[in-house]
Amino acid sequence: MSLEGKVAVVTGAAAGIGKAFSEILFRNGAKVVLLDVNESGGKSVMEALNKEDSQDRALFLSCDVQSEEQLKAAFKTTAETFGGIDILCNNAGILNEKDWERTVGINLVGVIKGTYAALEHMSKLNGGRGGVIVNTASIAGIKPLPSCPVYSATKSAVIGFARAMAIASTMAGYGIRFNALCPALVETELLASLTEKLGQFTVLEQPTRQLLDKHGVIKTSVVAECLLELVTDETKNGEALMVSSKGQMYATFPSIPPLEVELS
């Protein structure tokens, strides 16, 4: 699928991985709507992108993914401004085991709210053009991090949500592909101030830091290349693409023949 003229929405676009997603989508020809709670950061990413050509293809909208109302308003503005939505990156996320309910609210509930609000514009059942939705999960959603049990749980959940929605979409005819992207440690602010973020699991901080020392961190641009693959390769649906300093690999999930129910 070519990105030329396509309309993409990226949550958590003001910094880190979301900023890199916005850049790669924009540089491959998409119109990109950047959603974030960080207004100054979001506006500066928008302005930097719009300086790259003269078509004003980047737009920042302030939006907290915890709010269904704000998400619906942002998608409505996107559709009115650019004439529809083809791509959604549910990327906004935090790591905070102390405020674990907020972590669930942003990392999981925010992804579900974003997806359902986008379906109103993207699903062929609602008059949309179809397209692709990618959830930013984490390797921690496949290989849990003991110091971050709630964070790991939200990431397993958004992988499961993408896989189930992929089947639902095929069965119901939404015309939308659903995938999850699972990075290992990435060089962003999310890794800063770990001691405060781990809460009662601060006792496990040392082995987590050793993980950083052993495996290092990857650049956001490497994660963005993986996003491009999931968005443009129309054969990818219901996939979880893992990426680390060792390279990239699609996750395989066990089939359980005696229990398997044929759904698609």
Ligand X SMILES: NC(=O)C1=CN([C@@H]2O[C@H](COP(=O)(O)OP(=O)(O)OC[C@H]3O[C@@H](n4cnc5c(N)ncnc54)[C@H](O)[C@@H]3O)[C@@H](O)[C@H]2O)C=CC1
Residues forming the active site: 151
Among positions 181-240, residues that touch ligand X (CB under 6 A) are 183, 185-186, 188-191
- CA dist 244 to 140, 144, 187, Å? 12, 15, 12
The upper half-sphere exposure of residue 121, i.e. CA atoms within 13 Å in the direction of its Cβ, equals 27
Q: How far is the CB of 158 from ligand X (least distance, A)?
A: 8
Alpha helices in the chain (DSSP H): 16-27, 39-50, 68-82, 100-104, 110-122, 149-172, 194-197, 205-215, 220-232
Say if CB 104 and CB 94 are below 8 A apart.
no
- CA dist 11 to 8, 38, 153, 167, 257, Å? 10, 11, 20, 24, 38
| Calpha distance 77→187 (Å, rounded) | 32
102 is a site residue for ligand LAA2MC3X (CB under 6 A): no
| Dihedral (Cα; 115, 181, 188, 154), 10-degree rounding | 60
DSSP 173: T
CB under 5 to 8 A by kind: which of ligand LAA2MC3X, ligand X, none does 169 bind? Answer: none
Find the part of the chain contacting ligand X (CB under 6 A) among 14-22, 25-33, 203-211, 254-262: 14-22
Find the part of the chain contacting ligand X (CB under 6 A) among 89-97, 160-168, 202-210, 246-254: 89-97
CB under 5 to 8 A by kind: which of ligand X, ligand LAA2MC3X, none does 9 bind? Answer: none
Q: How far is the CB of 122 from ligand LAA2MC3X (least distance, A)?
A: 27
208 is a site residue for ligand LAA2MC3X (CB under 6 A): yes
Which residue type does 145 have?
A: L
- CA dist 153 to 156, 167, 200, Å? 5, 21, 16
Encoded one letter per residue, x for contact with ligand X by CB under 6 A and - for no contact, window 134-173 reads: --x-x-----------------------------------
5 token code pair: 């003229």
Which residue type does 133 have?
A: I
114 is a site residue for ligand X (CB under 6 A): no
Phi, psi angles (nearest 5°) of residue 243:
-140, 130
Among positions 134-193, residues that touch ligand LAA2MC3X (CB under 6 A) are 138-140, 143-148, 184-185, 191
CB under 5 to 8 A by kind: which of ligand LAA2MC3X, ligand X, none does 143 bind? Answer: ligand LAA2MC3X
**CB closer to ligand LAA2MC3X out of 2 and 252:** 252
Q: How far is the CB of 234 from ligand LAA2MC3X (least distance, A)?
A: 27
**CB closer to ligand LAA2MC3X out of 95 and 158:** 95
Q: Give the footprint of ligand X on this chain (CB under 6 A).
A: 11-12, 14-18, 36-38, 41, 64-66, 91-94, 106, 136, 138, 183, 185-186, 188-191
